[in-house]
């Protein structure tokens, strides 16, 4: 009955109520989004870092190198000589070195030349088919396969660069030999091949530089092909995939370039020694992903904290709004309370009515806020999914932090109602009724 | 029935009210009259247990009530004393019927919906049962107040200037209702008033000086 009365009282002044609930909803929604995004973001970024102690790549921004090599979100800093980086990959400190070569994409999904170690690093399994072995064989990530409805044996042509709108490579067709299992990490959104595939696909561009090298003189890029076919009837009827197969490049090709190398150390001293060592002795740079990502989080942290303060500010205002609403109506309701006392209501029952009203408001505000926040995450997730291939799960409940937020919301309600409730508790019935 | 003996009351040291003794049988009526400022309402509040007298005794149904404190006093008041005020007060957010049910629930923990409906019927306002009190006319509101005061079958019904804000016709109606209902429910009725329209109707009067 007391609860029912409190509930009816709330909706007797709907405008006051809606204002308070709106403010609460806004602040709870913002905080919920921040809690979920912050945690899931850090989790995702952390899980991708497993097994990467250091990234070797071209000189430039170390953050850009980490973002492009580990998270696949930025453009690479440039290329490095595979011959010179090989020395470092075979260094006794190194436990595992995974080379990466970028070049193409297929409708926006990056095609990355690497070794099967890369798949292993992300604890992905080959769900269907097998690992790439020969040139132009690819393994597609789980999300790529799902979104593009790709299956084993499918063939496709790559587009140069990282944008889907780039120039299409007419001369090479990839064939899907494997589909990776879902990991929730960046690999889900990648198409993986071996390194020579990338080289061979881009040999066209490299052609001029290595023109003096007779070993490279012949094999196929589009412009040459026509001429060659004309001059060499033996190749006449062959499809160009086949044609290229005969002239496959291998990993041992000299004078080639790759984009970067992910290093895991046996001896963790490398983490401290390599950055200087690499900078002094090579034209490359060594970036520490943990350090770089901590910098990113520090930068984000400022923004996240600002948003948090804003949200708590709104919550404070909503508390004040509840207080003012209760305090104002208390004047009108004094007679009502006195009457309830005449009817046999005990002091603490009046206290309870006022507290319940405020806390019910806060409960409703929290409920709406947590729902609105999750709707916000769905929208945010759609945007970040297309921009960064990074999705957020709106259904995750982070019990300790969200529980704390719930408690805080109720506490705001309690504090806002405290003074009006005490006034109701200590109400002088006789005086109120005599003056009414 | 209700009886008082040697009640005194003071708001401060300088002024002490000496309240006349009264005795009222179940089913009968006493009118307490007197000019403004003579402590009529104070007396009524003392009888209702809303104010603590400085000295004296009040017996309601052979129970001495001036010693009841806190929630015991609240409970006793809710169960045994019905009060009708000059101006009707209601819980604004609850309907007429819910107001009656609340009065019953606060005193006894039960809603007694059937009784509430019966009382509304008797007072000819059952059509207003689901309206908010503010939507009723003053006369109707006063009748709802009476119904609410009778919800818990009180031993004593106290009425504080029940007619002062009503026109002649409504005033007559209300007085008639109060008298009839107190007889029917065997309730001692004490009306505090300075309304001369009522004075001539009752022989049993106490005047405060």
The string of DSSP codes covering A121-138 is HTT--EEEE----STTEE
Q: Is residue A180 part of a domain?
A: yes
ipTM: 0.90
Counting as low any pLDDT under 50, the low residues of chain B are none
Least CB–CB distance from A8: residue in B51, B71, B94: B94
> A243 and A157 in one domain?
yes
Cβ–Cβ contact A334 with B under 8 A: no
> A244 and A341 in one domain?
no
- Cβ-based contacts of B106 with chain A (< 8 Å): 1, 340, 343-345, 349
Q: Is residue A132 part of a domain?
A: yes
Contact B77 A344 (CB under 8 A): yes
* CB distance B119 to B185 below 8 Å: no
Cβ–Cβ contact A433 with B under 8 A: yes
CA distance B92 to chain A (A): 8
Q: Residue A402 gets which letter from DSSP? A: H
State how many domains chain A has. Answer: 2
Q: Is residue A225 part of a domain?
A: yes
Q: Is residue A293 part of a domain?
A: no
> A383 and A234 in one domain?
no
Q: Is residue A295 part of a domain?
A: no
> A282 and A398 in one domain?
no
> A121 and A82 in one domain?
yes
User: How many angstroms from the chain centroid is the CA of residue B70?
Assistant: 20
Q: Is residue A231 part of a domain?
A: yes
> A121 and A87 in one domain?
yes
> A18 and A165 in one domain?
no
Cβ–Cβ contact A2 with B under 8 A: no
CA distance A30 to A23: 11
CA distance A4 to B172: 37
Q: pLDDT tens across A379-413, in order?
A: 998 888 777 767 788 888 889 999 999 999 999 99
Q: Is residue A196 part of a domain?
A: yes
CA distance B24 to A72: 93
Least CB–CB distance from B50: residue in A8, A336, A342: A342
pLDDT value for A436: 65
CA distance A132 to A128: 12
> A78 and A25 in one domain?
no
> A41 and A68 in one domain?
no
Q: Residue A14: closest CA among chain B residues belongs to which residue?
A: B93
CA distance B65 to chain A (A): 14
- Residue at a domain's end among A256, A287, A318: A287
Contact B87 A436 (CB under 8 A): yes
Cα dihedral across residues B181, B183, B188, B193: positive or negative:
positive
Counting as low any pLDDT under 70, the low residues of chain A are 204-247, 389, 436
CA distance B4 to chain A (A): 19
Cβ-Cβ contacts under 8 Å for A377 (sequence gap 6 or more): A33, A36, A37, A392, A393, A394
pLDDT value for A356: 94
Cβ–Cβ contact B134 with A under 8 A: no
- Residue at a domain's end among A287, A322, A356: A287
Domain B2-207 has CATH 3.40.109.10: no
Mutual angle of helices A289-342 and B70-80, in 10-degree steps = 50
Q: Which residues of A222-249 are buried (b: 16+ CB within 10 A; e: fewer)?
A: eeebeebbeeeeebeeeebbebbeeeeb
pLDDT value for A108: 85
CA distance B109 to B116: 14
> A377 and A280 in one domain?
no
Cα dihedral across residues A400, A402, A403, A405: positive or negative:
positive
DSSP-derived secondary structure for chain B: -EEEEEEEE-SSSS--EEPPP-EE-TT-EEEEE--TTSSHHHHHHHHTTSS--SEEEEEETTEE-TT--HHHHHHHHHHHEEEE-SS----TTS-HHHHHHHHHHHHHS---HHHHHHHHHHTT-GGGTTS-GGGS-HHHHHHHHHHHHHTT--SEEEEESTTTTS-HHHHHHHHHHHHHHHHHTT-EEEEE---HHHHTT-S-EEE--
> A37 and A63 in one domain?
no
> A147 and A40 in one domain?
no
Q: Is residue A221 part of a domain?
A: yes
Domain that holds residue A250: 54-287
- Cβ-based contacts of B79 with chain A (< 8 Å): 344
Alpha helices in A152-239 (DSSP H): 195-201, 203-206, 214-217, 222-231
Phi/psi at B84 (5° precision): -115, 125
Cβ-Cβ contacts under 8 Å for A222 (sequence gap 6 or more): A170, A171, A204
Measured CA distances, B194 to A435, B8, B31, B199 (Å): 17, 21, 10, 8
Whether this prediction's pTM lies above 0.80 is answered by no
pLDDT value for B165: 81
């Amino acid at each position: 009955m007391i609860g029912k009365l409190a509930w009816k009282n709330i909706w007797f002044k709907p405008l006051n109520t809606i204002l308070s609930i709106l403010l609460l909803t806004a602040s709870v929604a913002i905080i919920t989004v921040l809690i979920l995004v912050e945690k899931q973001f850090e989790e995702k970024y952390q899980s991708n870092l497993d097994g990467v102690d250091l990234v070797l790549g071209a000189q430039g921004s170390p953050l850009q190198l980490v973002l492009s090599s580990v998270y696949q979100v930025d453009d690479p800093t440039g290329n490095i000589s595979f011959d010179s980086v090989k020395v470092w990959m075979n260094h006794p400190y190194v436990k595992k070195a995974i080379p990466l070569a970028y070049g193409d994409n297929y409708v926006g999904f990056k095609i990355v030349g690497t070794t099967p170690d890369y798949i292993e690093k992300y604890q992905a399994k080959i769900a269907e088919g097998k690992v790439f072995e020969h040139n132009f064989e690819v393994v597609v990530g789980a999300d790529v396969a799902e979104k593009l409805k790709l299956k084993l044996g499918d063939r496709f042509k790559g587009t140069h660069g990282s944008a889907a709108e780039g120039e299409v490579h007419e001369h090479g067709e990839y064939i899907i030999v494997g589909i990776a299992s879902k990991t929730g990490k960046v690999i889900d959104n990648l198409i993986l091949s071996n390194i020579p595939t990338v080289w061979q696909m881009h040999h066209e561009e490299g052609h001029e530089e290595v023109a003096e090298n007779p070993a490279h003189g012949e094999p196929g890029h589009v412009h040459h092909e026509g001429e060659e076919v004309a001059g060499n009837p033996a190749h006449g009827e062959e499809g160009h995939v086949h044609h290229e197969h005969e002239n496959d490049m291998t990993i041992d090709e000299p004078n080639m370039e790759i984009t970067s190398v992910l290093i895991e150390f046996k001896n963790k001293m490398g983490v401290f020694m390599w950055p200087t060592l690499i900078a002094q002795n090579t034209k490359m740079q060594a970036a520490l992903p943990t350090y770089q990502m901590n910098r990113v989080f520090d930068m984000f942290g400022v923004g996240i904290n600002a948003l948090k303060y804003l949200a708590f500010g709104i919550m404070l205002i909503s508390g004040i709004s509840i207080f003012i609403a209760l305090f104002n109506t208390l004047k009108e309701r004094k007679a009502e309370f006195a009457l309830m006392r005449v009817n046999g209501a005990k002091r603490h029952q009046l206290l309870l009515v006022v507290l319940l009203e405020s806390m019910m408001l806060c409960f409703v505000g929290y409920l709406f806020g947590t729902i609105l926040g999750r709707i916000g995450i769905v929208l945010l997730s759609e945007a970040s999914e297309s921009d960064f291939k990074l999705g957020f799960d709106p259904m995750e409940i982070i019990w300790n932090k969200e529980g704390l937020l719930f408690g805080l919301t109720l506490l705001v309600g309690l504090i806002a109602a405290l003074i009006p409730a005490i006034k109701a508790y200590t109400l002088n019935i006789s005086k109120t009724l005599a003056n009414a | 029935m209700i009886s008082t003996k040697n009640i005194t009351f003071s708001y401060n040291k300088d002024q002490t009210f000496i309240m006349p003794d009264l005795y009222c049988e179940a089913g009968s009526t006493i009118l307490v009259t007197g000019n403004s400022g003579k402590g009529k309402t104070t007396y009524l509040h003392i009888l209702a247990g809303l104010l603590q007298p400085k000295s004296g005794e009040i017996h309601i149904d052979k129970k001495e009530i001036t010693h009841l404190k806190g929630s015991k006093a609240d409970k006793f008041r809710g169960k045994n004393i019905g009060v009708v005020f000059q101006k009707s007060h209601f819980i604004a957010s609850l309907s007429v019927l819910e107001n009656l049910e609340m009065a019953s629930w606060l005193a006894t923990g039960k809603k007694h919906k059937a009784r509430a409906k019966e009382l509304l019927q008797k007072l000819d306002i059952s059509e207003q049962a689901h309206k908010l009190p503010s939507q009723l006319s003053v006369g109707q509101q006063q009748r709802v107040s009476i119904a609410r005061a009778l919800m818990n079958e009180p031993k004593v019904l106290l009425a504080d200037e029940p007619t002062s804000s009503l026109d002649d016709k409504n005033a007559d109606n209300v007085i008639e209702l109060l008298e009839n209902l107190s007889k029917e429910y065997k309730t001692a009725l004490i009306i505090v008033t300075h309304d001369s329209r009522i004075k001539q109707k009752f022989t049993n009067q106490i005047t405060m000086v």
